[in-house]
């Protein structure tokens, strides 16, 4: 859930009327700027004191006018009118500088309208504020400088406040970016699950209407044909063909309907994808066969744990090019193609690393082969699959 304290970042196009001064979290956005502005105005009481009463009065009027602008009927005003608020804030800074003196150190608050527009306004509005700031600097440069006297307290106060404001704003943006990335990942995962579930239902319906019924009918016909022959060799071949059809039906059921079970938890595919996603550069990953449901209970966890230990050893001296995972009737095989870095590109690298990698594979109940590849080294881990279930009665299909 998004926090109301996180500033909303409007785009340059399609900003709603009064966008920076409307919407949830407005108080959290405005209060830090208001606190710095009020303290800057109060700092006029510090030495060397007020240099111009007229400028001080103008600064107070403009400072009160800025928060009052939040209550304007922005839906009835032109879209460009929002830039008038940070411009008024820039005018308040000019009046404040003239009231306190150009050497008073109060000029640092010119960052208030600049930071506000950079966070919440459009780019062209920020450009207007930059131009206004340049005008303020030109005007203050033409004003005779008064004696600095003791302005250290004001400078320390304002620099500390502005530094805190910038830090809070920057960390708020970083938090918002992190939350946006997390929300995006969650939405992508939900979309992937919904897509797989929809495809499963569609494929299952199609298979039930066409493929499964025809395979079932073919199996019944083979059983009838086997009973009509007296030759043992022919009967044996017909029964073997029926067993193959039984096995095909089980594979179809496990592949299509097994998706529902895999959606409830983290499968081997997702674990390996996340593991490879943490590498830089990210290798190409491919899968073949029923990878998620093929391994025995805990086998996928052991495979991922083994790869989690082995990959840091490999990437220390090589760059991973690809990771391929294949599940067949006998084993789940993970093949990694890696290109050795110059400092490790010698004939003895595989021999040095083989004992540790083979020990890791043995702990997971797997075997590993390390041999030269097309561009470096090829690693192949082999983990046995679950023993196939015995064929059930024909009606079980």
pLDDT at 321: 80
Instruction: Give the residue-averaged pLDDT of 84-91.
Output: 93
- Mind listing the pLDDT tens digit for each residue in 302-358? 888 888 888 887 887 777 888 888 887 778 888 888 887 766 666 566 666 677 778
Q: pLDDT class for 297, splitting at 50, 70, 90? A: low
* Between 9 and 117, residue with greater pLDDT: 117
* Between 21 and 213, residue with greater pLDDT: 21
Six token digits for residue 125 = 């509005």
Q: Residues 326, 307: one domain?
A: yes
Query: Is 181 among the domain residues?
Result: no
Q: pLDDT class for 84, splitting at 50, 70, 90? A: very high
Angle, alpha carbons 96-91-93 (nearest 5°): 30
- The whole-angstrom separation of Cα 384 and Cα 150 is 80
**Where residue 275 sits, what CATH number does that domain have?**
3.30.565.10
Q: pLDDT class for 395, splitting at 50, 70, 90? A: very low
**Is the Cα dihedral 170, 178, 273, 203 positive or negative?**
negative
Phi and psi, residue 264, nearest 5°: -75, -20
Query: Is 120 among the domain residues?
Result: yes
Query: Is 35 among the domain residues?
Result: yes
Q: Residues 102, 33: one domain?
A: yes
Query: Is 10 among the domain residues?
Result: no
Given 96, 122, 150, which residue is the final one in a domain?
A: 150
Q: Residues 27, 144: one domain?
A: yes
Query: Is 201 among the domain residues?
Result: yes
Give me the torsion for CA of 63, 64, 65, 68, rounded to 10°: 130
* Structural domain range at position 285: 268-384
Given 209, 228, 263, which residue is the final one in a domain?
A: 263
Alpha helices in the chain (DSSP H): 26-42, 53-68, 84-100, 111-120, 123-142, 152-206, 212-228, 232-263, 268-277, 291-294, 299-315, 349-363
Q: Residues 27, 139: one domain?
A: yes
- The whole-angstrom separation of Cα 59 and Cα 109 is 13
Q: What average pLDDT does the chain have?
A: 76
Q: Residues 146, 200: one domain?
A: no
Q: Residues 211, 146: one domain?
A: no
- The whole-angstrom separation of Cα 287 and Cα 303 is 14
Q: Residues 259, 359: one domain?
A: no
Query: Is 379 among the domain residues?
Result: yes
Dmax over CA atoms of the chain, in Å, equals 121
Q: pLDDT class for 149, splitting at 50, 70, 90? A: low
Return the H-helix or E-strand segment holding 29. helix 26-42
pLDDT at 335: 86
Q: In what order do the strands lie in the sheet with 284-288?
A: 284-288, 318-327, 331-340, 377-384, 367-372
Given 263, 279, 310, which residue is the final one in a domain?
A: 263
Q: Residues 208, 285: one domain?
A: no
Q: Residues 29, 75: one domain?
A: yes
Chain centroid offset of residue 371 CA = 36
Strands 367-372 and 331-340: unpaired
Chain centroid offset of residue 120 CA = 23
Instruction: Give the residue-averaged pLDDT of 230-234.
Output: 79
Least confident interval from 14-23, 69-78, 363-372: 14-23
What percent of the chain has pLDDT above 90?
7
- pTM beyond 0.85: no
Alpha helices in 229-263 (DSSP H): 232-263
* Between 66 and 188, residue with greater pLDDT: 66
Q: Residues 27, 137: one domain?
A: yes
Q: Residues 140, 242: one domain?
A: no
For residue 122, pLDDT over 60 is answered with yes
Q: Name the 3-class secondary structure at 337.
A: strand
Query: Is 298 among the domain residues?
Result: yes
Query: Is 395 among the domain residues?
Result: no
Q: How far is CA 381 from CA 77, 180, 244, 288, 360, in A?
A: 68, 37, 29, 15, 10
Q: How many domains does the chain have?
A: 3
- Mind listing the pLDDT tens digit for each residue in 182-218? 788 778 878 877 777 777 677 767 666 667 777 777 7
Task: Provide the 8-state DSSP code for 334.
Answer: E
For residue 50, pLDDT over 60 is answered with yes
Six token digits for residue 22 = 């409307």
pLDDT at 6: 39
Count of CB atoms within 10 A of residue 173's CB?
A: 14
pLDDT at 264: 46
Task: Provide the 8-state DSSP code for 201.
Answer: H
pLDDT at 253: 65
Q: Residues 210, 141: one domain?
A: no
Instruction: Name, in order, each residue with C-beta under 8 angstroms of 263's C-beta and a sequence gap of 6 or more.
Output: 193, 196, 197
pLDDT at 118: 84
Least confident interval from 5-9, 363-367, 372-376, 387-391: 387-391
């Amino acid at each position: 859930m998004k926090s109301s304290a996180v500033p909303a970042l409007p785009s340059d196009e399609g900003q709603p009327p009064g966008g920076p001064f409307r919407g949830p979290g407005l108080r959290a956005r405005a209060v830090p700027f208001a606190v710095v502005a009020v303290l800057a105005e109060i700092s006029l009481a510090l030495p060397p004191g007020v240099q111009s009463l007229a400028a001080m009065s103008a600064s107070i009027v403009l400072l009160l006018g800025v928060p009052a602008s939040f209550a304007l009927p922005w839906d009835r005003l032109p879209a460009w009118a929002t830039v008038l608020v940070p411009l008024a804030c820039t005018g308040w800074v000019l009046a404040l500088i003239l009231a306190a003196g150009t050497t008073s150190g109060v000029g640092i608050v010119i960052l208030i309208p600049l930071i506000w527009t950079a966070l919440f306004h459009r780019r062209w509005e920020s450009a207007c504020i930059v131009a206004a700031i340049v005008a303020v600097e030109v005007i203050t440069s033409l004003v005779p400088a008064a004696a600095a006297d003791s302005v250290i307290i004001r400078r320390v106060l304002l620099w500390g406040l502005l530094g805190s404001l910038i830090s809070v704003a920057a960390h708020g943006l970083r938090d918002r970016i992190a939350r946006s990335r997390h929300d995006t990942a969650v939405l992508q995962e939900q979309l992937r699950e919904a897509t797989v579930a929809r495809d499963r239902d569609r494929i299952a319906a199609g298979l039930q209407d066409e493929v499964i019924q025809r395979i079932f009918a073919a199996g019944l016909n083979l059983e009838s044909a086997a009973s009509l022959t007296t030759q043992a060799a022919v009967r044996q071949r017909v029964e073997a063909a029926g067993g193959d059809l039984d096995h095909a039906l089980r594979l179809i059921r496990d592949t299509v309907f097994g998706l529902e079970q895999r959606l409830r938890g983290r499968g081997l595919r997702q674990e390996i994808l996340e593991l490879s996603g943490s590498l830089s550069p990210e290798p190409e990953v491919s899968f073949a066969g029923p990878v998620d449901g093929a391994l025995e209970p805990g086998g996928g966890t052991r495979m991922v744990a083994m790869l989690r230990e082995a990959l840091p050893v490999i990437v220390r001296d090589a760059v991973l090019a690809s990771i391929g995972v294949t599940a067949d009737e006998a084993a789940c095989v993970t093949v990694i193609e890696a290109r050795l870095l110059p400092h490790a590109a010698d004939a003895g690298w595989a021999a040095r690393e083989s004992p540790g990698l083979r020990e890791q594979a043995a702990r997971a109940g797997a075997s590993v082969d390390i041999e030269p590849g097309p561009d470096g080294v090829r690693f192949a881990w082999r983990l046995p699959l679950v023993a196939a279930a015995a064929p059930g009665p024909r009606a079980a299909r």
